[in-house]
Amino acid sequence: MTKSLLQVLYVLTMIAVVVLVDVLFLRDKFWLRLWVNIGIVALFVVFYLLFLKNR
């Protein structure tokens, strides 16, 4: 139960970061926004695989 709660919070945090960056900095730049969002998700995936997967 704790692991699934941690995963849900992690995904919600990732979504919040993506939306916040989109709204604050990249409102009218579609392609840049797309690439930045891919980079943010990739960083979250790498961090998860390195530090949180074995918990």
Structure tokens belonging to residue 54: 């074995």
The answer, yes or no, to whether residue 55 has pLDDT greater than 80, is: no
pLDDT in tens, 29-46: 999 999 999 999 999 999
Higher pLDDT, 12 or 4: 12
HSE-CB of 17 using CA atoms within 13 angstroms: 15
Higher pLDDT, 52 or 11: 11
Structure tokens belonging to residue 2: 């704790």
pLDDT at 54: 80
pLDDT in tens, 9-33: 999 999 999 999 999 999 999 999 9
| Cα distance between residue 41 and residue 16, in whole Å | 11
| Alpha helical stretches, state H, the chain | 2-25, 30-47
pTM here?
0.87
